[in-house]
A and B are shown apart, each in its own frame.
Chain A
């Protein structure tokens, strides 16, 4: 059963397409990596998959629902880690997550769990502005799993994470359908059986166990 079907996804900023006619299919429980250089369109594609951005043309179906029309429903079980953490700097790590628990209509006990999972339990009282980039990234990841989403969209989460990134992400993605954008080919290969490669907004196709020869 397909969790995610993208058909001819195109997005233009002005007249230049950031992504051009991308097709993809993701089955439930599958993990897919999106690879590509800077400017290839990874972030745009992921924003579209996360329903944060509506493509100029093309159709996206998530769990059988039209991603745009039913985006409120879909967001109940979608977790998105964006490129920028989007945290509130003056609030503590815990307060940030508690706020989002309230918005997600999820019990606040989830905050402690999420903090444990991303390894931030010891700094929960510290203000988000005082956290390192890597910790902020972890906090953003923690926020994305508060509501126990079935589908995870992760935009370069490993960028500041450090050595245990692979383990952390593997744990997060277990049991969930996931799309992961990254520069790190080794990480992509380790975590995701399938890979989609973007170049200049176009998909070069998806493959299993892609090895990019340079």
Chain B
């Protein structure tokens, strides 16, 4: 069997590390710092609650999200108010549909868009940036020139164009958001890779005979994880914002599916009739989630990058 130099080297490094001191790992250290920072912990708890609401909320709903309560139709302003008796915990929307189950369903879509968008960014952006940075030279300049070009396109209009041309669907939304989300990530990752590839452990791996892709996947990428995690956390709210923007214009997911942006748009359209709850409930979840993501992201950055203080 061929000796795996990478493993041997990594094991040696680990052994060395443990001998030197009963050291804490980077991640344990970061976790300790993160959990000591109250706003981040509170925000994390809020995010867990929002996720629970989004994915278990439907079991407490009296009405489904597409069902129309005919008894409130025409008098939504009075009969459609939020109340426990009618089962419309958040009231109804303008068409007599239960706002509670619509908010639950909208939260699912919005969170999913955010997480899928950030996920694409993590996978594509990290690999792209790491490859460009590691190989350098002409490959790097061609790859990054492409990113520059894509970044200077007004993507919101292109995204709308895509949705108009290929029809509005959640798959198209994911494709469109996925197309743009990884660009910034790849730039950040490339910058980090440029400095990482000069480090001794990369040289050692190369001397040990590891192939370029093994070095990228086993040595460069794990060392990038910190910054990738931080940036991904800050990317989720941006993706949610993008989707809400599209949905606010009525170009997002199609009825009866909905999302925070669509709900805010509908609520905003009816505020003149005094049905404020239609705006405020979705708005509350939207703002609280965005706030929490930004705080968690900031907390993670402080925890993972202690030199910045």
Please indicate whether A and B come from the same complex rather than being unrelated chains: no
B interface list, Cβ under 8 A from A: none
A interface list, Cβ under 8 A from B: none
